[in-house]
Amino acid sequence: MQYRVILQNVVRHPWMYSVGVLLTIVALVLVWPRPSVSSVSRQIRAIELLPSDSVVVKNERFDGEVSFTGTLMPVQQMLLNARIAGDVIDVPVREGQSVAAGAVLVRQNNLDAQSRLAQAEAAVQSSRAELETAREQMKKFRVLSQQNFFSRNDLEKAETQVAVYTAQVRANEAAVLMTKKALNDAVLRAPFSGVVAERLVEPGQLVMPNTPLLRLVDLSKLELAIQLPSSEIARVHEGQTLTFSVDAFGDEKFKARVIRLNPLAKASNRRITVYAAVSNADQRLRGGLFAKGSLVDENSPSGLVIPLAGVQEKNGQAGVMVIRQSRLVWQPVELGQQNARTNQVIVTKGLAEGESILSTRVSVKREGAPVRYVGLPAAAQEG
């Protein structure tokens, strides 16, 4: 009966139905549980970053490094040539073999020189005997000429004969020295301690004077030759220290010291060659290796260096977006010296070494937004 009365009232007064529905909806809204603020924030989409979109703040010299590439070369190396003509009878060394100064490297056939030496020594003995005879005869002529037994002309002839034999002795002695030198030249010895880099002859070959036989290098001292743009030369001076690496030793760093600068720039590229001394007592490095590295300008200022691209303004205050606990935090900073060439600036206040900041500009309105690195594992996402 009560339902019939209610239905009749609804039919007579339809507005009552609408009011009832509205009251029901309001009641549901009031009693329905609301999402928490934290759950709403979790639904904010994270800003996706590449590793190159952020940098770690470091305390370093401001624009103080000059990068370079270069080539290592031995300070002392020599191409050893044959000094006489003859057959090669022995080459007792191989490429890569270390040798001491004075070690025998190549032997040539010296039988002809030995024969010529014997002849030259015999000629010396003969000419010396003739000279001695001429001297004795000259003495006799001198005494007898004083007694008028011989004329002055005969004495002069005897003196001339002594002079001739004296010259002959000297010529024969010179021939002996030359022949001994030829014998010595038949044996090629190391002029300094080093390593055989090239072996260019084999036993049995006939070589002529100036034929290349071996190349010897001293690896204990190397030079690094690098080419720098003329715009960087003002930052380089003798005695400056540089560091470099070579692919053969991975990330291992080696040191060198600038010893001289070429006074002329290359016409082809307007670059200037700089030479640096490299100590290589353990001979790990090799000549001809490609090197890459940097040298430091000691006169450049140091501090916390960041890219200018990451600096923004908020209410007239310079600042950067710092990544803390995977969220963007606005951090006011004070700036120092800038470098328009490298687009860097020194931060004098507001940042600490080791902090991560955005190197690209993101609206300051995104402060507090979460960030996520694309392509990095979860363990590397914390910042």
> CA-CA distance, 322 to 329, in Å (whole number)?
5
The secondary element (H helix, E strand) that includes residue 241 is strand 241-246
The predicted-structure confidence for 303-317, as pLDDT tens digits, reads as follows 888 888 889 888 889
What are the extents of the domains in the chain? 47-62+301-380, 65-74+217-296, 78-102+190-214, 111-185
Phi-psi map region of 201: left, alpha, beta (phi>0 left; psi -120 to 50 alpha): beta
Model confidence at 141, pLDDT cuts 50, 70, 90, reads low
Across the chain, what does the average pLDDT equal? 80
> CA-CA distance, 52 to 308, in Å (whole number)?
15
* Mode of pairing for the β-strands spanning 241-246 and 290-296: antiparallel
Model confidence at 116, pLDDT cuts 50, 70, 90, reads confident
The predicted-structure confidence for 332-368, as pLDDT tens digits, reads as follows 999 888 876 678 888 989 999 999 988 887 777 788 8
For the cut 70, the answer to whether the pLDDT of residue 71 exceeds it is yes
For the cut 50, the answer to whether the pLDDT of residue 41 exceeds it is no
Residues 267-290 have a mean pLDDT of 92
For the cut 70, the answer to whether the pLDDT of residue 100 exceeds it is yes
Whether 293 and 245 have beta carbons less than 8 Å apart is answered as: yes
> CA-CA distance, 311 to 320, in Å (whole number)?
5
Judged by average pLDDT, the poorest of 116-120, 131-135, 350-354 is 116-120
Residues 129-141 have a mean pLDDT of 74
The architecture (CATH level 2) of 78-102+190-214 comes to: Beta Barrel (2.40)
pTM: 0.55
So what's the pLDDT on residue 32? 53
Model confidence at 42, pLDDT cuts 50, 70, 90, reads very low
For the cut 80, the answer to whether the pLDDT of residue 325 exceeds it is yes
In CATH, which of 3.30.1640, 1.10.287, 1.10.3470, 3.30.70 is domain 111-185?
Answer: 1.10.287
For the cut 90, the answer to whether the pLDDT of residue 105 exceeds it is yes
So what's the pLDDT on residue 213? 96
In CATH, which of 3.60.21.10, 2.40.420.20, 3.40.50.300, 3.30.300.20 is domain 47-62+301-380?
Answer: 2.40.420.20
Model confidence at 51, pLDDT cuts 50, 70, 90, reads confident
3-state helix, strand, coil in the chain (%, to 5): 35, 35, 30
For the cut 90, the answer to whether the pLDDT of residue 62 exceeds it is no
Model confidence at 84, pLDDT cuts 50, 70, 90, reads confident
Task: For the domain covering 65-74+217-296, report its CATH number.
Answer: 2.40.30.170
Which pairs with CB-CB distance under 8 Å and at least 24 residues apart come from 231-238?
232/66, 233/261, 233/272, 233/274, 235/66, 235/297, 235/299, 235/300, 236/66, 236/261, 236/274, 236/295
Judged by average pLDDT, the poorest of 90-94, 136-140, 230-234, 269-273 is 136-140
